[in-house]
């Protein structure tokens, strides 16, 4: 009997600690304070999907919308920043892949047009962080490991995105899942932490934040969104996706998670011949992602999407998505609080 009481007491303490963590998530949230937004929900800066229409819609809904500059020429990025500023008076961000060939022009546009926040990825955060911060721009860097999180923090970034390999598009070589990566990074760094990869709704958002994240970034969730610039063919394919329909591949070049379409199967056949890196690059060619995601060629295109695509079955507006996430998030918080009263 004594053992039973001790177990109940222990479980009660654990539950109370979880509830204290949950209750502090939004009331004392570092991400909402840092970005001056209502909800700690960030829409990822996806190539060919996140232009000013999506970014402004998410920002107007209380989250942080991000323009994905990786698929934009410099003049197109300038147009998107100006349009976004006209469409919202709320904070928004620009995602900049650091290996982008015209990055100097992108950085100049961001500084000249006073975009308030920049998310950097795929490269050394030390290159541009100092200059951006000198121009009063907040900088966030995306990482896939504790090692790179510590590197980003040492470069002076304002926050870090820890992205598990469930995420769509280009990914880390470590193949660490979000559930394992987030608590490790949370213990290692002192700056605010954003979790990404496989986060799709209020339940997964709450789980990530209990593990140590201060906010979440969602890309896949916003691909099949009304304001997304993805082609309708691609959106419809996402709606039909099932568990196991994506795979991480092309690790010899840059690991990328994509849907298993005809192009993917051709890559798989090529792997059976033990191809060189050059042969893989030749197979990939140029413009594969644009061909599939933006132009709607579902056979020859590269269709970048995350594992959580299997949970999407309808196109909503950005506002509807944000509200659905927060409604479920708050509902679970409430249920846990009520359950605790009867223990």
Q: Which parts of the chain have pLDDT scores under 50?
A: 1, 341-343
Burial of 19 (0-12, 13-18, 19+ CB in 10 A): middle
Q: Tokens 């959106």 sit at which residue?
A: 235
pLDDT at 123: 85
- Helices and strands per DSSP (H, E), number in the chain: 15, 11
Taking the C-alpha atoms of residue 80 and residue 89, their distance in angstroms, rounded to an integer, is 15
CATH architecture of the domain 2-229+313-341 equals Alpha-Beta Barrel (3.20)
Ordered by start, the domain boundaries in the chain are: 2-229+313-341, 232-308
> How does pLDDT run across 180-230, given as a tens digit for each residue?
999 999 999 999 999 999 999 999 999 999 999 999 999 999 999 999 999
Beta partners for residue 120, in sequence order: 96, 141
pLDDT at 343: 47
Taking the C-alpha atoms of residue 20 and residue 136, their distance in angstroms, rounded to an integer, is 34
Tell me the three-class secondary structure of 169-196, residue by residue. Answer: EECCCCCCCHHHHHHHHHHHCCCCEEEE
Q: Are 292 and 303 spatial neighbours (Cβ–Cβ below 8 Å)?
A: yes
pLDDT at 24: 52
Predicted model pTM: 0.87
pLDDT at 251: 86
């Amino acid at each position: 009997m004594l053992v039973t009481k001790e177990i109940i007491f222990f479980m009660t303490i654990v539950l109370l600690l979880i509830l204290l963590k949950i209750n502090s998530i939004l009331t004392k949230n570092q991400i909402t304070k840092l970005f001056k937004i209502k909800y700690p929900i960030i829409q990822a800066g996806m190539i060919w999907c996140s232009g000013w229409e999506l970014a402004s819609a998410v920002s107007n809904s209380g989250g942080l919308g991000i323009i994905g500059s990786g698929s934009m020429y410099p003049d197109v990025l300038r147009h998107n920043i100006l349009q976004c500023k006209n469409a919202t008076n709320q904070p928004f961000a620009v995602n900049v892949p650091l290996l982008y060939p015209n990055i100097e022009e992108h950085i100049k546009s961001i500084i000249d047009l006073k975009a308030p926040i920049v998310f950097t990825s795929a490269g050394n955060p030390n290159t541009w962080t100092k200059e951006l911060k000198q121009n009063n721009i907040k900088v966030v860097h995306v990482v896939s490991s504790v090692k790179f999180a510590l590197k980003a923090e040492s470069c002076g970034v304002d926050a870090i995105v820890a992205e598990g390999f469930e995420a769509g598009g280009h990914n880390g070589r470590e193949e660490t899942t979000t559930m394992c990566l987030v608590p490790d990074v949370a213990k290692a760094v002192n700056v605010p932490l954003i979790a990404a990869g496989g986060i799709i709704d209020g339940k997964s958002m709450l789980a990530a934040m209990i593990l140590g994240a201060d906010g979440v970034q969602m890309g896949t969730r916003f691909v099949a969104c009304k304001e997304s610039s993805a082609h309708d063919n691609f959106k419809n394919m996402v709606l039909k996706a099932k568990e196991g329909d994506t795979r991480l591949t092309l690790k010899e070049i840059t690991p990328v998670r994509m849907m298993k379409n005809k192009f993917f199967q051709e890559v798989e056949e090529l792997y059976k011949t033990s191809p060189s890196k050059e042969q893989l690059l030749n197979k990939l060619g140029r413009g594969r992602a644009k061909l599939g995601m933006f132009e709607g060629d579902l056979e020859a295109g590269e269709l970048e999407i995350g594992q959580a695509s299997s949970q999407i079955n309808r196109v909503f507006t950005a506002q509807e998505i944000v509200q659905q996430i927060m409604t479920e998030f708050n509902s679970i918080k409430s249920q846990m609080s009520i359950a605790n009263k009867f223990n």
